Chains A and B, each alone.
Chain A
Amino acid sequence: MSLKKVPLLRMVTGLLAFLLLPVSAVTVELKYMCYDTIECAAFKQLMPQFNAKYPDIKVQIDIVPYKAVRETLPVQLAAGTGPDIAAVTDPGGLSRYYLDLSPYIDVHYWQASFGDVLDWYRDKSVYGNGRFNQGVTDIGIYALQTQLTLTGAYINKTLFEQADVAIPAIGSSWSEWAKAAKTVAKKTNTYSPMALDRSGHRLMGPIISSGAKVFDGNSVALVDQGFKTFVEQFVGWFEDGSMAREVWAVGGATYKDAKREFVNGEVVLYFSGSWQVKPFDAAIRGAFDWQVIGSPCGIGGCSGMPGGNGLVGFKQTKHPAAVAKFIDFFAQENIYQQLLSLTHNIPAHKAVADEGVDYVGLSAVAAKALGSWTAEVDKISPIAFKLQGYKYNRALFDIVAKRVTQAVVGELTVQQAMQRSKADLNKALKNMN
């Protein structure tokens, strides 16, 4: 071997080593579409633990607006593109694209930990596919419920004290709460007694509590006496000034909340959901006292609508095992506990819920509020639970929001709004089935 050839050989060997080294260090790269900034930050914070366990899996967390998850993700999935993992809020709507994690995970652990929530994500579950039990049972596991949310109400306790009005007892009806809120608003010259987020999902909790059955055997009835009772009451609140008009007097399927109004002390009772605890804690600080009252009651119970984020993998991924490893890692009790302590949400994991979450950096008021929300979980009506897993619930929610808005602004009577809701839902189901 000549002297000239020695450095050349070294160079070639070195180059090969350089090229091959990264391949063995990072073999898989996954993309995770995340929209909830608080949750995304929590995932990023916990990633070093995941990377320590799985150094060969690199996960890129792409933070996107919620609109991208709602509008762009379905198009990407239909075209066979899109991320490997995403956080979704429409469990049934995208179910046909979900990766079944069961071949890669401890199915018994998952079933014991997440139980019935797993059914929301199943395409051919008893009610998940909209065709209602045609003898096909899907027992796959598709998602990690990273947070369980619940709709319900908050009150501005300070305004009640200033008005010297007794806070109605937990379990009071909508009428009792409305009457109290109206008195408080009048005495304290507050802008609006009540506000309810403009969303079909938010409206369905009170509707179910008013006795609506929503489902009729093997089909969705939607409109019944319970539904009509609450919508009539709801529209009436706008007519007598009990409800904040600016939240509902908008157009299209636009979602609108009244978070700003509540934080500014302009609303006595605000019906929204458990996810507001952290923002309220940060924004209100000590400006006034607030508390969770959950869902006011009716003949159908005191139920809110459950919801939250599901971490799902998609079938089109080239690395199903890595995707499952990532999701399964965050489903483990100690990691899930850490995740929830950062995101400040209600746990969907049974053992974590039983044990209680040690929420990091949360005030005593907010911690108490989260405790109240956790207690509300037991009040969820089976109808509300079933509706959350219904494959076409997004269509139902949008239709309800649109048509009830028309009744609120006087374009339709409540009766006409009911008829139109039913017709719209039939049209939607015809197009989706």
Chain B
Amino acid sequence: MVLAQLLVSVYKNEGFNMISNIMRIVEMPMLLFQKHFGVRNVAWLFLAPNLILFGVFALLPLLLNIAYSFTGGGEILLGDRTYIGTENFSVLLQCESYLDPQSCTEDLFWRAVYNTLKFVLFQVVIMVGFALTTALILNKKIIARGFFRSVFFFPVLLSPVVVALIWKWILQRNGLLNAGLDYMGFEKVLWLLEGDLAFAWSVFVSVWMHMGFYTLIILAGLQAIPKDVYEAARMDSASPFRMFHRITLPLLMPTMMVVFLLAVIKGVQTFDEVYALTGGGPGTTTTFIIQYIYETGFAGSPRLLGLAAAVSLLLALALVVLTAAQSLAKKRAT
């Protein structure tokens, strides 16, 4: 009956009537729900779509990951796998000296851990430093400011694999850079085949790719600082360095904390661009934790899904601790 009325109202193009009729259609099941489950429980009904999505795509994989980390064997389906307790974790943590990966049972894991730590240290410090400098420059009234803001943000829009392939064309033995060196009479350099060089280029490419995003955040933070504070400082004859040190940096600190937190998390998760650029080599020089997980669980033979799941869990734990520590630091800073 209600549906018929609605159709009639649509047919007659009676806008107001149509809305009220739709409301009546919605109202009926809502009233029924309230009657059966109570008014307070209506909130769950509204939360349900989100909770279902979260449950299926976040919580369930997390629980499966935990379950897999306690299993061993070559089977793929969880039900077919053997429960082995904490063996995967003990294998991962078995080392004579944690400072020497070669002394660990799972040496490739520890090499990946150290490579990741080294990468995050270099990448985050260099990237945040450059992003801050760029944001400070772009915050000034310079010529073609809009253009430069776009230029710095552009690499962020590119796919990591595209970025890696572009740089690979530049850096490979017969690439653009070596062609330039050759033209100028210099020897060709194997940029991606020597450990230290490959690592340095991985950091550079990653910084080049992500810097624009952090520049944008810092720029927003800079623009949120009230102008009158600077005017007051100028009236007190404060030098530009003193203004930066005493006004800009302290007021920018909450933004910088967010930037550091995001950069560290993103740095730890680095995989695609470096994998496409170097394949994790030469050897294991640019193999990071995510690549280790991917190769252990999926690309290699046998598929050590349990071991890969255990590493994922340890990584998640490390990121939670890191996030908590930075949140604490942020609270103190503000």
Asked whether A75 and B76 contact (CB < 8 A) given A245-B190, A252-B279, A405-B283, the answer is yes
Question: Quick one: which of A75, A246, A253, A431 contacts B73, CB cutoff 8 A?
Answer: A431
**Residues A79 and B76 in contact, CB atoms below 8 Å apart:** yes
Instruction: Determine how close the nearest CB of chain B comes to the CB of A410; give it in whole angstroms.
Output: 8
Is B123 an interface residue when CB atoms closer than 8 A count as contact?
no
Instruction: Determine how close the nearest CB of chain B comes to the CB of A216; give it in whole angstroms.
Output: 21
C-alpha gap A200/B283 in the complex (Å): 15
C-alpha gap A197/B48 in the complex (Å): 54
Instruction: Determine how close the nearest CB of chain B comes to the CB of A245; give it in whole angstroms.
Output: 5
Closest to B84 in A: A431
C-alpha gap A79/B76 in the complex (Å): 8
**Residues B282 and A251 in contact, CB atoms below 8 Å apart:** yes
**Residues A416 and B304 in contact, CB atoms below 8 Å apart:** no
**Residues B284 and A74 in contact, CB atoms below 8 Å apart:** no
Is B240 an interface residue when CB atoms closer than 8 A count as contact?
no
Asked whether A71 and B279 contact (CB < 8 A) given A431-B74, A431-B304, the answer is no
Chain B residues positioned under 8 Å from A249 (CB to CB): 190, 193, 281-283
Question: Quick one: which of A254, A395, A420 contacts B301, CB cutoff 8 A?
Answer: A395
Is A406 an interface residue when CB atoms closer than 8 A count as contact?
yes
Q: Which of A386-433 contact B (CB under 8 A)?
A: 392, 394-395, 397-398, 405-406, 408-412, 416, 420, 423, 428, 431-432
**Residues A254 and B284 in contact, CB atoms below 8 Å apart:** no
**Residues A250 and B278 in contact, CB atoms below 8 Å apart:** yes
C-alpha gap A74/B295 in the complex (Å): 15
Total count of chain A residues near the partner, CB < 8 A: 32
**Residues B280 and A395 in contact, CB atoms below 8 Å apart:** no
**Residues A251 and B279 in contact, CB atoms below 8 Å apart:** yes
Instruction: Determine how close the nearest CB of chain B comes to the CB of A301; give it in whole angstroms.
Output: 27
Is B302 an interface residue when CB atoms closer than 8 A count as contact?
yes
Total count of chain B residues near the partner, CB < 8 A: 36
Q: Which of B265-297 contact A (CB under 8 A)?
A: 275, 278-287, 291, 295
**Residues B295 and A252 in contact, CB atoms below 8 Å apart:** yes
If over half of A's interface residues share one DSSP class (helix, strand or loop), that class is named, otherwise mixed; here it is helix
Question: Quick one: which of A78, A79, A405, A409 contacts B195, CB cutoff 8 A?
Answer: A409
Which of B73, B190, B301 has the most chain A CB atoms inside 10 A of its CB? B301
Is A294 an interface residue when CB atoms closer than 8 A count as contact?
no
Q: Can you list 28 residue pairs at the A/B interface with Cβ under 8 Å?
A: A71-B298, A249-B190, A249-B281, A249-B283, A250-B279, A250-B281, A251-B286, A251-B291, A252-B279, A252-B281, A252-B295, A252-B300, A254-B279, A392-B301, A395-B301, A398-B301, A406-B284, A409-B195, A409-B282, A409-B283, A410-B283, A411-B283, A411-B284, A420-B107, A423-B105, A428-B301, A428-B302, A431-B304
**Further contacts, 20 of them, CB under 8 A, given A78-B80, A79-B77, A251-B287:** A75-B76, A251-B278, A252-B279, A252-B280, A252-B300, A253-B299, A253-B300, A392-B302, A395-B300, A406-B284, A408-B283, A410-B195, A411-B111, A411-B283, A411-B284, A411-B285, A420-B107, A428-B301, A431-B73, A431-B302
Q: Which residues of A contact B (CB under 8 A)?
A: 71, 74-75, 78-79, 93, 245-246, 249-254, 392, 394-395, 397-398, 405-406, 408-412, 416, 420, 423, 428, 431-432
Please name the 3 residue pairs, one residue from A and one from B, whose CB atoms are nearest each other, closest first: A251-B280, A251-B281, A249-B282
